[in-house]
């Protein structure tokens, strides 16, 4: 049953991705001002959505871990943080690849770019802590606190284009509150890409979470075997 | 097709990174499962000869 869900989710992701690619490269009209490089946007925004959703899950899992002290929440938070980091990296890289031909520079310390980079650094710190320290309750507790605190940057990133002066385009809703995408095909393409990336996120989270559960089981078994071997040795 | 190279690079990087991450997860999962089976077998072999109360509680826990 578990494998069937995983396979179905994987196939759904693949199907949606293929449809999404067809729409991006064949169906959607080319934007008049920016040209074909604007098409980066259709995968750049879903990458940001997945990163934000993943970091939101890290915060929720962190709260539940601190409350219930159940390892399952720590495993979920760790899995989500890693996936969030992968997609946050993709947001920064694809953003730079769009910025070079449009702004004439790979990077600028704009409010949205800077807050996103801070988010990337915060979760980079979280993952470094988890990778370098032992799997103890104390580390998991620290991780949960860092995960919750770092997630506070997510609304700052989202609101940055409204809070500060910025050159980053507010595409979905413009600063005047209007719709940023004029052609309905652009909206549909973005929605399909968002669905594809949501499915991909679900599939990856499931894979990584199951793996961390296996690792937890292995740690418990190792402890049991060591205890038994020590006891047999004493006997 | 001005700036096609940027578009191509962006989509290529996205898919290379995702495929590399999935490959990394699958490889690690296969290694963990092998280790888990080996440990379960080792535990099964140890259980019949567990005579002390300390051993009993470790297995139960």
Residue A12 lies in a domain: no
Residue B59 lies in a domain: no
| pLDDT of B3 higher than 70 | yes
Q: Place A181 in a pLDDT band, splitting at 50, 70 and 90.
A: confident
Reported pTM: 0.87
| pLDDT of A108 higher than 80 | yes
Residue B35 lies in a domain: yes
Q: Which domain holds residue A35?
A: 24-171+179-232
**For the range A153-161, what are the long-range contacts, defined as Cβ-Cβ under 8 Å and sequence gap of 24 or more?**
A153/A115, A153/A118, A153/A119, A153/A122, A154/A52, A154/A55, A154/A56, A154/A119, A156/A115, A157/A52, A157/A112, A157/A115, A157/A116, A157/A119, A158/A52, A160/A111, A160/A112, A160/A115, A161/A111, A161/A112
Those residues of chain A whose CB sits closer than 8 Å to some CB in chain B are 35-37, 39-40, 43-44, 47, 86, 89-90, 93-94, 97-98, 100-101, 200, 204, 207-208, 210-211, 214-215, 217-218, 221-222, 224-225, 227-229, 231-232, 234-235
Top mean pLDDT of A82-86, A227-231, B50-54 is at A82-86
Report how many Cβ contacts below 8 Å link chain A to chain B.
105
B39 Cα to chain A: minimum distance (Å): 7
| pLDDT of B55 higher than 50 | no
Residue A5 lies in a domain: no
Q: Which domain holds residue B38?
A: 19-45
Q: Give this complex's ipTM.
A: 0.87
The total number of structural domains in chain B stands at: 1
Q: Place B45 in a pLDDT band, splitting at 50, 70 and 90.
A: confident
């Amino acid at each position: 049953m578990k494998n069937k869900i995983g396979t179905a989710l994987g196939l759904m992701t693949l199907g949606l991705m293929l449809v999404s690619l067809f729409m991006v490269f064949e169906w959607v009209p080319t934007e008049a001002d920016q040209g074909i490089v604007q098409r980066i946007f259709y995968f750049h925004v879903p990458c940001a959505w997945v990163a934000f959703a993943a970091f939101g899950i890290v915060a929720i899992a962190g709260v539940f871990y601190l409350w219930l002290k159940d390892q399952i929440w720590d495993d979920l938070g760790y899995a989500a943080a890693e996936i969030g980091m992968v997609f946050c990296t993709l947001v920064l890289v694809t953003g730079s690849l769009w910025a070079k031909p449009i702004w004439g520079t790979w990077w600028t310390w704009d409010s949205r770019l800077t807050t996103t980079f801070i988010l990337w650094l915060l979760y980079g710190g979280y993952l470094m802590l988890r990778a370098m320290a032992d799997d103890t309750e104390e580390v998991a507790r620290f991780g949960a606190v860092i995960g919750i605190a770092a997630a506070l940057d997510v609304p700052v990133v989202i609101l940055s284009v409204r809070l500060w002066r910025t050159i980053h385009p507010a595409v979905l809703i413009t600063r005047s509150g209007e719709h940023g995408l004029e052609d309905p095909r652009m909206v549909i393409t973005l929605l399909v890409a968002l669905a594809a990336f949501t499915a991909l996120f679900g599939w990856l989270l499931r894979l990584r979470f199951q793996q961390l559960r296996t690792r937890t089981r292995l740690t418990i078994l190792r402890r049991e075997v060591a205890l038994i071997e020590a006891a047999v040795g004493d006997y | 097709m001005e700036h096609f190279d940027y578009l191509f690079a962006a989509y290529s990087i996205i898919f290379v990174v995702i495929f590399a991450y999935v490959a990394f997860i699958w490889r690690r999962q296969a290694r963990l499962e092998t280790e888990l089976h080996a440990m379960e077998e080792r535990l099964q072999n140890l259980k019949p000869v567990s005579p002390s109360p300390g051993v009993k509680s470790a297995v139960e826990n």
